[in-house]
Chain A
Amino acid sequence: MRRNVFLKAGLAAAALVLVSGCATGIKHEQMASGMPSLKAGEGRIYFFRSSSMVGAAVQPEIRLNGQVVGTSKPGGFFYLDRPAGNYVAAASTETEKSVSFTLQPGETKYIRSSVSFGLVVGRVVLEPETPEKAKAELGTLSYTGAPIAAR
Chain B
Amino acid sequence: MVGARSGAAGALVSLLLAGCASPVQVAPASLVPLSAPAADFVVDADVPIRLSTGYTRTLPAQSHWRAVGSLPQGLVYQPVNTVFAVEGRQVHEAYLVLQGKALQGFYLPGEGNFSPLAPPLTLPTTQGGKR
Interface residues of A (CB under 8 A from B): 86-88, 94-95, 97-102, 110, 116-119, 123, 125-130
Residues from chain B with a CB closer than 8 A to the CB of A101 are: 85, 92-93, 109-110
A127 touches B85 (CB 8 A): yes
Residues from chain B with a CB closer than 8 A to the CB of A126 are: 91
Contact check: which of B15, B93, B111 meets A128 at CB < 8 Å?
B93
Residues from chain B with a CB closer than 8 A to the CB of A102 are: 93, 109-110
B16 touches A86 (CB 8 A): no
Contact check: which of A98, A110, A118 meets B90 at CB < 8 Å?
A98
Chain A residue with Cβ nearest B83: A128
Chain B residue with Cβ nearest A87: B110
Query: Can you offer 13 A-B residue contacts whose CB atoms are under 8 A?
Result: A86-B109, A98-B90, A100-B91, A100-B92, A100-B108, A101-B85, A101-B110, A102-B109, A102-B110, A117-B15, A118-B15, A119-B15, A126-B91
Residues from chain B with a CB closer than 8 A to the CB of A125 are: 91
Q: How far is the CA of A99 from the CA of B87 in the complex (A)?
A: 9
B91 touches A130 (CB 8 A): no
Contact check: which of B15, B83, B87 meets A130 at CB < 8 Å?
B83
Q: How far is the CB of A133 from chain B (nearest CB, A)?
A: 9
How many of chain B's residues have a CB under 8 angstroms from any CB in A?
A: 19
Mask: chain B, 54-91; 1 = CB below 8 Å from A; 0 = not: 00000000000000000000000000011111010011
A86 touches B19 (CB 8 A): no
B90 touches A99 (CB 8 A): yes
Q: How far is the CA of A118 from the CA of B16 in the complex (A)?
A: 8
B19 touches A100 (CB 8 A): no
Q: How far is the CB of A97 from chain B (nearest CB, A)?
A: 6
The answer to whether A97 and B90 touch (CB under 8 A), given A88-B110, A102-B110, is yes
* CB proximity to A under 8 Å, residues B72-131: 81-85, 87, 90-93, 108-112
Q: How far is the CB of A95 from chain B (nearest CB, A)?
A: 6
Extra contacts besides A94-B19, A100-B90, A100-B91 (13): CB < 8 Å: A86-B112, A88-B110, A95-B19, A100-B108, A101-B85, A101-B109, A116-B18, A117-B15, A118-B19, A119-B15, A119-B16, A127-B85, A129-B83
Residues from chain B with a CB closer than 8 A to the CB of A123 are: 19
Residues from chain B with a CB closer than 8 A to the CB of A117 are: 15, 18
Q: How far is the CB of A64 from chain B (nearest CB, A)?
A: 12
